Copies of this chain bind each other. A is one copy, B any other.
Amino acid sequence: MNAVPESEAPTGSLSDQELAGLDGWWRAANYLSVGQIYLMGNPLLHEPLRPEHVKPRLLGHWGTTPGLNFIYAHLNRAITARDLNMMYVMGPGHGGPGPVAAAWLEGTYSEVYPDITQDEDGMKRLFTQFSFPGGIPSHVAPETPGSIHEGGELGYSLSHAYGAAFDNPDLIVAAVVGDGEAETGPLAASWHSTKFVDPRRDGAVLPILHLNGYKIANPTVLDRIDREELDELLRGFGHTPILVEGTEPEYMHQAFAAALDRSLDEIAEIQRRARRDGHTERPRWPMIVLRSPKGWTGPKEVDGLEVEGSWRAHQVPFTNARDDGHRKILEQWLRSYRPEELFDTSGAPAAHIRDLHPLGTRRMSANPHANGGPLIRDLTMPDFRNYAVPVEVPGTGNVESTRILGTFLRDVMRENMSTFRMFAPDETNSNRLGAVLEVTDRTWNARTQPDDDHLAPDGRVMEILSEHTCQGWLEGYLLTGRHGVFSCYEAFIHIVDSMFNQHTKWLRTTNGIVWRRPIPSLNYLLTSHVWRQDHNGFSHQDPGFIDHVVNKKADVIRVYLPPDANTLLSVADHCLRSRQYVNVIVAGKQPQLQYLDMAAAITHCTKGIGIWDWASTDSGVEPDVVLGCAGDVPTMETLAAVQILLEWFPDLRIRVVNVVDLMRLQDHREHPHGLMEADFDALFTVDRPVIFAYHGYPWLIHRLTYRRTNHHNFHVRGYKEEGTTTTPFDMCVLNQIDRFDLAMDVIDRVPRLHRISAHPREHLKNKLIEHRQYIRTHGEDMPEITHWQWAPAAPPAGGGPGPVSTAEQ
């Protein structure tokens, strides 16, 4: 690594004035950071600190903050010198006081929060509100101007930074990677983003690995491996690292400024060669390694124990700050920044400090990309109706619904070649969305071979076998105002459960922040779902992401289960146009029956739930039984059960209710999509048995409907964690959601069938036995299952069941 030993101070590219300016700005930011953590009065130390000036509960993280401020100061110098369009992503986002201090110094804070003025009163409020009831969180949060990255859960800084840089050719995203964060899997994977960025089309990410040395209690791995080893590691990730290491501010300012200048020169040169000369070899992007003491500039020692440079500096370095001894240390610490030089008598930043930050939208705290909402360009949307599958008879055909969706997404892509991307862990083709490759390629900036399939540096289909990286890229892309879809095997979307949590929490919080504008929704397409893991078996069977999703606030989550291609198109169109949600779409990729023509699909999706008259026999009067269904496979099995039942009981009054928008089931007080009570009762009755076949874990339907009048009559079938490598129909049988079990459920629950159902019931039981025997011999489902189509008028199969009147006998 290109390290300069501290003893050989760099000749100094910074003038004395520049150096003084940088250091002054840094001291100001540090002063304001310590003030936020500790003070609720006397912000400018106009008098000696008294106990009541100190907050009673001290909450915050000091350790990483001076490093974040140091980098901020230097980035500001470079922005001004080079007129850069730069964003700042802080992996160690728990260092919340830092960017808040910076935004206040830059004036942005007072612009978005007018009560936090740039004067003594405002500074007092700035200090008091931090980690204080009714105030702001302790982390870099949605409330922090200039940030798209919370950082409470570590690991996503680099993938967020790349997401922001994609399709923003003029943007440079400086991304601080904490050395704690660097131990996480998601961060470790995201270094390889270097193979997915195009220097011609995309902006640049400048990673700054901050070797702060310690986590909460442990040293960090990257700080304690050999310097050569770290250098090899970072080169192995595709970077050219530059090391800046030391403790003395003057030396460090000179060294970091030189490293930053060199990095920015290299970035400019890489981009110039790519854009002017069409140079296509993958560049080795520069990055900086900054090794500085944890809690830098804080107290060296408290109560005889080392603090600066130690894990003890991680949170609040000392906590009894209302007591005389510690209060004196606090005051000395604050005064060491010489606030009287930094702020004028009113409490505003002194003129020479104000002069140091860039202006307007060049301020990182006011960079437009960090508040993506106002930047959004609506997608140019082709008319999804043009992709409709013709459906002359419901319940027929044999179409891969996601393949149809692929043609629609292809044209969405074609119309939005700088604002829309698709993300998947190597599954776009497997998920039948390959049509999109007719208009773009997979993003790939590493070596290629002749047999490779649709790889190019400027591809817009982003595939890496890391769900974490896909999610992080997409989040960064959305948060900066662009659009995208993440398609994933259903079971493995759980890999990003926690990232989903953080993103929905971000959305939820921004709903309450007036200056944050809504951003495009995060759209999941979960295919290769639980019912069709033919190749893979039990490990690939888990429909629980929906359960995870509905734990989050109703105002930011939506769940859709379109049963066929036209409903999938309608739902996808709706989701792509929406804002500020996480949309989960679950749809199978295997050939399947089609039910609704486009007009019917639009009507059905608009309502989100509805009676399928063509499959019902209740003729508008009170039914004997309601068959509810949600999801493509449960819908097919439900219809097959209807057909079986009607063969036996032609005058049975069945009502089929299909659910596309799962949240329609919930109480309208719990979710904005929830049905009013009367509407729910009109669909599901108040007293008839309901057999509900659901795509996922059955108890979710109970949870969503437990307040409903007729809930005690709900009998739900779904995935109950029974599975292995077997046939598609056998998966249904194992979980008792198959047509025969559903038909038996109806027989068992409709009183007027009880006396006449012994024979049909036995017949159905025998069908299940026959199925089991058949598949164990033949290895595939019976043709009557595989080729089943909806044909309710068909006569009973030869030797099969005969009609039984349900009239009283």
B455/A138 in contact, CB under 8 A: no
A 306-323 to B, binary, CB cutoff 8 A, 1 in contact else 0: 100111000100000000
Give the most central of A311, A702, A721: most B CB within 10 Å: A721
B492/A498 in contact, CB under 8 A: yes
Known: A225-B447, A235-B229. A185 touches B538 (CB 8 A): no
In the complex, whether A237 has a CB less than 8 A from a CB of chain B is: yes
A 535-559 to B, binary, CB cutoff 8 A, 1 in contact else 0: 1111110101001100111000000
From 315 to 359 in chain A, residues with beta carbon under 8 angstroms from any chain B beta carbon are 315
Nearest neighbor of A720 in chain B, beta-carbon distance: B553
- Chain B residues, CB < 8 A from A226: 447
B192/A138 in contact, CB under 8 A: no
A224/B553 in contact, CB under 8 A: no
A 445-469 to B, binary, CB cutoff 8 A, 1 in contact else 0: 0111101110100000001111111
Give the most central of A188, A190, A429, A455: most B CB within 10 Å: A188
**Residue of B236, B544, B776 touching A229 (CB-CB under 8 A):** B236
A762 to chain B, nearest CB (A): 24
Instruction: Give the docked Cα–Cα distance between A546 and B604 (Å).
Output: 35
Instruction: Give the docked Cα–Cα distance between A700 and B261 (Å).
Output: 55
A152/B540 in contact, CB under 8 A: yes
Stretch at the interface among A213-221, A246-254, A515-523: A213-221
In the complex, whether A153 has a CB less than 8 A from a CB of chain B is: yes
From 414 to 467 in chain A, residues with beta carbon under 8 angstroms from any chain B beta carbon are 426-430, 442, 444, 446-449, 451-453, 455, 463-467
A547/B539 in contact, CB under 8 A: no
From 199 to 236 in chain A, residues with beta carbon under 8 angstroms from any chain B beta carbon are 215-221, 224-226, 229-236
**Residue of B40, B218, B427 touching A216 (CB-CB under 8 A):** B427
- Chain B residues, CB < 8 A from A429: 216-217
Nearest neighbor of A550 in chain B, beta-carbon distance: B699
- Chain B residues, CB < 8 A from A137: 537-539, 724-725
Instruction: Give the docked Cα–Cα distance between A150 and B491 (Å).
Output: 15
Known: A57-B779, A185-B188. A221 touches B464 (CB 8 A): yes
B185/A184 in contact, CB under 8 A: yes
A465/B215 in contact, CB under 8 A: yes
Interface size class of A (residues with CB under 8 A): 35 or more
In the complex, whether A198 has a CB less than 8 A from a CB of chain B is: no
- Chain B residues, CB < 8 A from A467: 184
**Residue of B216, B426, B551 touching A721 (CB-CB under 8 A):** B551
Give the most central of A57, A180, A444, A464: most B CB within 10 Å: A57
A 699-712 to B, binary, CB cutoff 8 A, 1 in contact else 0: 10011001000010
Q: What are 9 residue pairs bridging A and B, where the CB atoms are less than 8 Å apart in the complex?
A: A56-B779, A59-B534, A137-B725, A224-B447, A229-B235, A491-B501, A497-B498, A508-B721, A703-B703
Tell me the A residues contacting B by CB distance below 8 Å: 40, 55-57, 59-61, 94, 128, 131-139, 141, 150, 152-155, 180-181, 183-192, 195, 215-221, 224-226, 229-238, 306, 309-311, 315, 426-430, 442, 444, 446-449, 451-453, 455, 463-469, 491-492, 494-495, 497-498, 501-502, 505, 508-509, 534-540, 542, 544, 547-548, 551-553, 697, 699, 702-703, 706, 711, 721, 724-727, 730, 775-776, 778-780
Other 8 A-B pairs with CB < 8 A, given A141-B538, A218-B426, A220-B465: A154-B465, A184-B185, A185-B469, A195-B225, A218-B455, A219-B446, A494-B498, A551-B721
